[in-house]
């Protein structure tokens, strides 16, 4: 029997209707500027509801257009919001399900991640949105791919970088780091902090990223460590917040998108 990780936030963060979801993703991607850029090796992308962070996420995912057949595997890391985990949580599921269908989990990759602090812990995946919300974009843009979903809890950025090194692969492997930026600040304060975060990412400066700046600070920093070792080039694709995307100028959440080649 196939083990399925069922969607937890369909109908909340994005539409539970396949037809509506297809239309939403297509509209977001169409609105994003798809420049003729090299194939990304890694992306940092936000994970809020599509009304809020969808346009920013689309600015990153639009860069995958034109590489539909290249990517065969996506390494997907995001922070835990629901069920705490010590270290990094892997999934024992065979597939991750969304309204658009099932994405197979790369079971061989999961089985070979033999690191202290890296373990299968399905409870941390069950209700977690930080990974799930990216799959409809990937399902829309890529043809046949598997996913390695990893929820990052109390862990060091160095451990994340080691896991990324083990999964790095070649041009067939895409790395997606899921993170929002500052949370529930006034507009100008959020803009100021998010600008500092953006500069740290552009500088590949893992030591400057903390959890007040990004909920996914640990996986982001882990990517920056791995990227710096490889002298990768970073491009900022978008930097906005929930007031810019939804029009609500109360306390805001920051969003950014970056591409690594």
**pLDDT above 90: residue 246:** no
Q: What is the pLDDT of residue 238?
A: 97
Pull the structure tokens for residue 193: 């902090």
Domain boundaries, the chain: 39-260
Region 61-72: what's the mean pLDDT? 96
Q: Mean pLDDT in the chain?
A: 96
β-pairing, 146-152 vs 183-185, is: unpaired
- The percentage of the chain sitting over the pLDDT mark of 70, rounded to a whole number, equals 100
Instruction: pLDDT band for 35, please (50, 70, 90 cuts).
Output: confident
Supply the pTM of this predicted model: 0.97
Cβ pair 48, 246 in contact under 8 A: no
Pull the structure tokens for residue 73: 């595997």
Helix (H, G, I), strand (E, B) or coil at 187: helix
**pLDDT above 90: residue 169:** yes
Angstrom distances, CA of residue 209 to CA of 79, 133, 190, 204, 246:
14, 23, 15, 10, 26
Work out the widest C-alpha separation in the chain, in whole angstroms: 52
Residue with tokens 């959020």: 190
**Considering the domain 39-260, what is its CATH architecture?**
3-Layer(aba) Sandwich (3.40)
Query: pLDDT by residue (tens digit) across 196-222?
Result: 999 999 999 999 999 999 999 999 999
Cβ pair 45, 257 in contact under 8 A: yes
- Contacts for 111 with CB less than 8 Å, ≥ 6 apart: none
Q: How many H-runs (helices) and E-runs (strands) does the chain carry?
A: 10, 12
């Amino acid at each position: 029997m196939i083990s399925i990780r069922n969607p937890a936030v369909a109908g909340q963060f994005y539409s539970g209707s396949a037809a509506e979801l297809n239309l939403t993703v297509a509209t977001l991607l169409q609105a994003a500027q798809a420049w003729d850029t090299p194939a990304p090796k890694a992306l940092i992308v936000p994970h809020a509801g599509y009304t809020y962070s969808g346009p920013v996420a689309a600015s990153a995912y639009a860069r995958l257009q034109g590489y539909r057949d290249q990517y065969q595997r996506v390494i997907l890391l995001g922070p835990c919001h629901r069920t705490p985990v010590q270290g990094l949580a892997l999934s024992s599921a065979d597939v991750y399900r969304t309204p658009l269908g099932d994405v197979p989990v790369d079971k061989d990759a999961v089985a070979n991640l033999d690191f202290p602090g890296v373990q299968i812990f399905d409870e941390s995946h069950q209700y977690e949105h930080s990974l799930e919300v990216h799959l409809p974009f990937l399902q829309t843009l890529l043809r046949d791919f598997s996913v390695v979903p990893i929820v990052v809890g109390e862990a060091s950025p160095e451990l994340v970088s080691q896991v990324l090194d083990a999964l790095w692969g070649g041009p067939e492997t895409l790395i997606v780091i899921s993170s929002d930026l500052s949370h529930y600040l006034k507009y100008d304060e959020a803009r100021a902090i998010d600008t500092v975060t953006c500069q740290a990412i552009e500088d590949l400066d893992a030591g400057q990223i903390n959890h007040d700046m990004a909920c996914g600070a640990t996986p982001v920093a882990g990517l920056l460590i791995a990227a710096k070792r490889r002298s990768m080039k970073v491009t900022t694709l978008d930097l906005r917040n929930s007031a810019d995307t939804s029009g609500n100028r109360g306390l805001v959440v920051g969003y950014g998108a970056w591409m690594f080649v």
